[in-house]
Amino acid sequence: MEMMIANLAHGFGVALSFHNLMFALLGALIGTAIGVLPGIGPVATISLLLPLTFGVEPTTAIIMLAGIYYGSQYGGSTTAILLNLPGEVSAVVTTLEGYKMARNGRAGAALAIAALGSFFAGSVATILVAASGPLLTSVALSFGPADYFSLMLLGLIISAVLAQGSVIKAVGMVALGVGLGLIGTDVQTGQQRFTFGIPELSDGLSFAAIAMGMFGIAEIVLNLEKPEARNVLKTKIGQLWLTREEWSRAIPSVLRGTAVGSVLGILPGGGAALSSFGSYMMERRLSRGRNEFGTGAIEGVAGPESANNAASQTSFIPLLTLGIPSNAVMALMVGALIIQGIQPGPRMVEAQPDLFWGLIASMWIGNLMLLVINLPMIGMWVKLLQVPYRFLYPSILIFCCVGVYSINNNVFDVYITILFAVFGYMCSKLKMEPAPLLIGFVLGPMMEEHLRRAMLLSRGDPMVFLERPISATLLGIAAVALLAMALPNLRKGKETALAG
């Protein structure tokens, strides 16, 4: 316990440096902005800004990127409440009750509880991340390569199971992603695989190019294809505070939401969206105001908003302690760390204490900044919404192009981005989820390394995955998850949750 306090103190020392504070603020601002703006989300933004983080230190880079992620959870609720327009997927449930509250003249209360609940949840989640680090890393150090392989496989399976739409297609996308990760030079033998003699491919496909093409550019094209009408804000915001009765109803929801979000965020494939849906379902069943759902129940805002913020922070836990990304955003963080020369994994907590504890401290500071940014400055963000999309998308396009080019100073990467934009467009038309592909792409090479090592140690015996208890347990959970999705009841449940 004293160790944790000492470490946290060290972390605050790192996080409170002027440089890191500035970047945390920048991340929070950008995150809120993209959360408010529909049509661009944290995945596209982080992949856009990834190349620009090369020039800064790894700790600073991750602080900013993390700020963008949890900042976007704060921003998404603003438009959900005021305009019935969710800026983020995780804000979809907030539109259900939040917009109704705004129509009833309680917009201020909704906004206030969204921000305050998120702050509380964020603080709790930060403590969880801090506590989990040393705990999980000591567990992970007893992992052998077979266990790692099974853990990564579990992560991939769960992210496919919890993805929208068909599970089988999502697993297929994972496999496709792993396959794409194979392009390049085989680390162990030095042989070029699937490079077709193209020298630029000898290091593999550019991760940022794939991410930007599939998430950024494809998104732009899809948004252009279906123009959304945006209602000009007519609802008055009113006072940014709650009545006593609203407080007493909201507080249990915040607590429940924090718990739900913290747990679901850790789960691979979980993340903010799933947590907000899960919390919404829970509040509909359990809360005191459940009969008011549909007419503007404050629990429907308090719970999900706390949940999504808690999840956005606890989803860092598998990344920081085990090196496993639990969702697409975390996959991008892995990419960012690898590019900076840091190997994510259990050794990272000891090897990079500045990064780990600094990031944790900065998360809490970021939450505090966001509280200020979101409550008093809300008028500014609403103005931002009035920028027509036709001015935004050329800007996003340019940033994509320049960003991708600047990674390797090579236009080849721009062409790869174009190729993956076409592919991403095709995938969305065929309802194939892109996020599992990205996670597979990131984890594939690591899995291959562990598989090889495991096979070498076991002298070619594949039963080693079932003989080692940890590995067997993990594979068992993966099998259960896959089979469970085959049960129609659970599948319907997931579909209702995801359909909002």
Q: Which residue of 68, 89, 162, 217 would you call a contact of another protein, by CB under 8 A?
A: 217
H/E element, 434? helix 434-457
Region near another protein per CB under 8 A, out of 14-22, 96-104, 184-192, 266-274: 184-192
394 binds another protein (CB under 8 A): yes
Burial of 82 (C-beta count, 10 Å sphere; 0-12/13-18/19+): buried
Residues pairing with 185 in the sheet: 192
Tell me the CA distances in angstroms from 49 to 31, 119, 421, 430, 441, one per residue in order. Answer: 12, 25, 18, 28, 19
Q: How far apart are CA 99 and CA 265, in angstroms?
A: 25
Q: Which residue of 39, 134, 144, 179 would you call a contact of another protein, by CB under 8 A?
A: 179
197 binds another protein (CB under 8 A): no
Q: How far apart are CA 61 and CA 43, in angstroms?
A: 15
Q: Which residue of 2, 3, 189, 488 would you call a contact of another protein, by CB under 8 A?
A: 189
Tokens of 48: 């856009």
Least Å from the CB of residue 405 to another protein: 6
418 binds another protein (CB under 8 A): yes
CA atoms within 13 Å, Cβ hemisphere of 219:
26
Scan for tokens 């945390």, then name that residue: 24
Least Å from the CB of residue 309 to another protein: 29
- Cβ proximity of 103 and 231 under 8 Å: no
Scan for tokens 């963080």, then name that residue: 333
Least Å from the CB of residue 409 to another protein: 6
Least Å from the CB of residue 452 to another protein: 5
Scan for tokens 């999900």, then name that residue: 304
Question: What x/- string results for residues 134 through 173 when contact with another protein is judged by CB under 8 A?
Answer: --------------------------------x-xx-xx-
Scan for tokens 């695989």, then name that residue: 193
Least Å from the CB of residue 53 to another protein: 10
H/E element, 110? helix 107-140
Nearer to another protein, 175 or 259 (CB): 175
448 binds another protein (CB under 8 A): yes
Q: How far apart are CA 137 and CA 154, in angstroms?
A: 18
202 binds another protein (CB under 8 A): no
16 binds another protein (CB under 8 A): no
Least Å from the CB of residue 254 to another protein: 38
Nearer to another protein, 199 or 341 (CB): 199
Strands 184-185 and 192-193: antiparallel
Count the Cβ atoms, other than its own, within 10 Å of residue 135.
12
Least Å from the CB of residue 492 to another protein: 14
State the residues that interact with another protein by CB under 8 A.
52, 55, 166, 168-169, 171-172, 175-176, 178-179, 182, 186, 188-189, 191, 193-194, 217, 220-221, 224-225, 388-391, 393-395, 397-398, 400-402, 405-406, 409, 411-412, 414-415, 417-418, 421-422, 425-426, 429-432, 444, 448, 451-452, 455-456, 459-460, 462
